[in-house]
Amino acid sequence: MATQLLFYNEVAPITAERHSNWHAREVKDFSFAKKTNSVPLMAAEFLSALSDYPIVFAGDEESVLPVLLLGMRNSENVFIGSEGDWKGRYIPAFVRRYPFVLALSDEGDKYYLCIDESFSGFNQSEEGPALITDEGSPTEYTEGVLQFLSQYQAEYERTQAICKKLKELNLLEAKQVQATSSNGESMTVDGFYAVEPSRLATLSSEAIVDLVRSGIYELICFHLASLRNFDLLRDRSFEVEPGTVE
């Protein structure tokens, strides 16, 4: 759950006993993500995300997962405005699900709907939809959240299978990107993987057809097209003075 809880602080399962009079205001301030320079991205989000962000793969030799790069410096998200507003045209689902998250039980056989109790939007003054009904059951709002998170989990598993296929075909290669500002400041982003086109070109016709039919080839094209956004990320990063993101 470490990666899944990048910006969660006080995670607890929703219960009727503890949260019967809790309400949730809409998330408008994304400052909770201002120190996060990358977040996981699901396959279904590639098309929506490729206009703003570089989509790369992070992990190790055993497994990888797609991520959106949000900054070139560690602990810096250049898509968070001074008022906590999100500057990108698309907000990734990993961010939009906050302050809710699914947590796997210790036995590994079920998921629990949890919240970050430190989220400032939770209140007991009836601002926003309630989490629990007077009868002690989840409200329609909470049921909607659970449905969204269940869909996210299913897409996570699908994305894992796609990444496994990319690994099996040996299409991923370790990469790094370097950038230098007009005043001489340099930055390097490394530790990520990208599909190497030359490896793609060596695949058999059967393997290519399989990628096309499964929809993976289209995702590869979205991924490769998104790498042009390193220029945008570089420009945004150099506009932010080092150390200004607390």
Asked if the structure places residue 90 within a domain, the reply is: yes
Tally of domains in the chain: 1
Return the pLDDT at 243: 44
**Structural domain of residue 64, as residue ranges?**
3-239
Asked if the structure places residue 244 within a domain, the reply is: no
Asked if the structure places residue 99 within a domain, the reply is: yes
Return the pLDDT at 74: 86
CA angle 99, 105, 109 (to 5 degrees): 125
pTM, two decimals, is 0.89
Asked if the structure places residue 171 within a domain, the reply is: yes
Q: What whole-number distance in Å separates Cα of residue 190 and Cα of residue 188?
A: 6
Give, to the nearest 10 degrees, the angle between helix 205-214 and helix 216-226: 90
Asked if the structure places residue 57 within a domain, the reply is: yes
Asked if the structure places residue 246 within a domain, the reply is: no
Mean pLDDT of successive 10-residue stretches along the chain, which has 246 residues: 70 94 95 94 97 94 92 91 94 96 81 94 95 95 96 95 96 91 80 96 96 97 96 85 45
- For the chain, how many helices (H) and strands (E)? 8, 10
